[in-house]
Chains A and B, each alone.
Chain A
Amino acid sequence: MLTFILRRLAFLVPMLLVVTFVIFALILLLPGDPVFAILGDAATPAQIAELRQKLHLDQPIIVQYLVWLKSVLTGDFGRSLRTSELVSDMLLTRIPVTVELSLLSLVVSCAVGIPAGVIAAVRRNQWPDLVFSTASLAGIAMPYFWTGILLMMLFSVHLRWLPPSGYIPLFQDPLMSLKLMIMPALTVGLPLSAVIMRQTRNSMVQVLSQDYIRTAEARGVSPMGVLFLHALRNALIPVVTVIGLQIGSLIGGSVVAETMFSLPGLGRMVIEGIFQRDFAPVQAAMLIIVIGVLLANLLTDLSYAVLDKRVKI
């Protein structure tokens, strides 16, 4: 197991180099010279040359990248141009919001997708299967923001059950915090549950037709026991992979949901930075998001090894 983890970690290194270089290089594509942006038009050539040297802009791109990478590795993401707040401090307040939203969305998508998939598989080609399969087909073409708008129109305008938007930290007022998180979590979680439902149904159908299930039934294991103890455990292995592959899409969805529902998370940090042309926070938030995705993929691979003993470690 340890060598497996180490091998997977070693595989992450080139990925991280590519990812960090892309995030770094995006800034190079920006039109305009950062030196002029900082000093203004009235700068003397000597001042320009001095700042250029200080910012390492006179060095080759690869050196600039290494300098940037070194500061990022020590947790120094620079300051926001607008508020001159330390970007690392901004990250600390925003990461918990995105993590809370992502986990709640994941709970929603599994709580909806897995039971729906199991029911559809058990009642294959009957009406529950038809209903769930149609719904999941529709869910794949459903943009996150449209789900959000429809939920908002239904729950906060029409029924007036939920506040339209806002954020309260979980520990300050847990009930209100969760109430505010319901719609964002549904916005992100429901489209995802469509994918999970489809995968659960397909692998459940496959597993239920196998010999060992018939053996278990013949041995007198109760139908529920067969379903949950024997079938679901094996059927869930591909589902776990699908969930892992969807983490990127889940985070993309939370960018939309955070913007729609005014949640101060990483996604909104990206959007705000883009609109204010303040790119240090954008870089930092993107980096954290991508590292999150990579770690989620790593966890998926590891859980795969735990769930399926046949995976050679």
Chain B
Amino acid sequence: MTSIVQETSARRRPISQLGLAARRFRQHTLGKIGLAIMLVAIAGAVMAPLVAPYNPEAIDYASILSPPSSTYLLGTDEIGRDLLSRLLYGGQVSLAIVAGAISIALVAGSVIGLTAGVLGGRIDDVIMRVMDGLLAFPMLIFALAIVAVLGPNLANAMIAIGVVNTPEFARLVRGQTLSIREQEFVQAATALGASVPRIMFKHIWPSLAGNVVVYAALRACSALITESSLAFLGLGVSPPTPTWGQMLSTALQYPEAWWIGVFPGLAIFFTALSFNFVGDGIRDAMDAKINT
């Protein structure tokens, strides 16, 4: 008897939006798979010093280009460094750049989008024409040019990938701001004399923050691919710091050593895929309306 009472009262307890979204996410198979892969990738990178079998820069001249074996689980590269250890450490750089770049794009894009959307008129026109112009650049080429000018290192890779992703965030935020701006609670705040920054960040931003976060997860997939492309083309973080893209560029010189061409590629592929799955999962869970 008591248990029934408890159950019904538990059922009646109101569930928060977040709790509801978490429940829906748990039913999203691809989302869960993605989250699992993503956690493995992050854990591998964070715990690389603990789990990596070798020092990623340790050279073993006796086993140059040796195929996967019990000593070197994923084989070694052209100067005898352990591929598995380099993959684990490489994740640190790649994931840090993606996280930094997406944060830059999210903050800059949101501020630009909110400003354009709230102020409207001429300012909106000018800002959005500039964003449209930036969007005309192929993302990789734009990022290449920025890194080339600033110089290839970790911070500049973050900035470059962040900048090229900013217009997309700005466009999304501006579009949503335009519709939220017309709602009563914003008009009430305006009527009460709230300042423009207050309207932007206190009233409008909370209503669209969820969608922006979903979009960030989806963009992380393409940010990782751009990062690894830069590294592959030789404009990433300089050696000997391993990154996945840069490891793949050595595969071109040693195409017979299939393990060099396959494993770093798999790392990029599965991590990028996991961002996509997680983004899709959160989107469906939050019922956000964003086209990818």
Chain A residues within 8 Å of B, Cβ to Cβ: 14-19, 22-23, 26-27, 29-31, 137-138, 140-146, 149-150, 152-153, 156-157, 164, 248-249, 251-253, 255-256, 259-260, 267, 270-271, 274-275, 282, 286, 289-290, 293-294, 297
CB contact under 8 A between A259 and B148, given known A140-B221, A248-B139, A249-B138: no
Q: Does B255 contact A (CB under 8 A)?
A: yes
* Number of A-B contacts defined by CB within 8 Å: 133
A-B contact pairs, 9 of them (CB 8 A): A140-B221, A143-B232, A144-B229, A145-B245, A150-B262, A153-B258, A251-B141, A267-B141, A270-B144
CB contact under 8 A between A256 and B255, given known A15-B136, A149-B265: no
CB contact under 8 A between A149 and B137, given known A26-B145, A138-B269: no
Contact: A141 with B269, CB < 8 Å? yes
Q: Does B261 contact A (CB under 8 A)?
A: yes
Q: Does B228 contact A (CB under 8 A)?
A: yes
User: Given contacts A157-B255, A259-B233, could you give 8 more A-B pairs where the C-beta distance is less than 8 Å?
Assistant: A18-B132, A19-B136, A248-B138, A249-B138, A252-B141, A256-B140, A282-B148, A293-B136
Contact: B144 with A18, CB < 8 Å? no
Chain B residues within 8 Å of A, Cβ to Cβ: 129-130, 132-134, 136-141, 144-146, 148-151, 221, 225, 228-229, 232-235, 245, 248-249, 251-252, 255-256, 258, 261-262, 265, 268-270, 272-273, 276
CB contact under 8 A between A153 and B261, given known A141-B273, A143-B229, A145-B232: yes
Grouping DSSP codes into helix (H, G, I), strand (E, B) and loop, the A interface class, with mixed when no group exceeds half, is: helix
CA distance A289 to B138 in the complex (A): 8
Measured between beta carbons, the chain A residues less than 8 angstroms from B134 are 18, 22
Contact: B148 with A164, CB < 8 Å? no
CA distance A256 to B150 in the complex (A): 21
CA distance A290 to B130 in the complex (A): 14
CA distance A31 to B151 in the complex (A): 9
Contact: B130 with A18, CB < 8 Å? yes
Partner of B233, one of A29, A31, A157, A256: A256
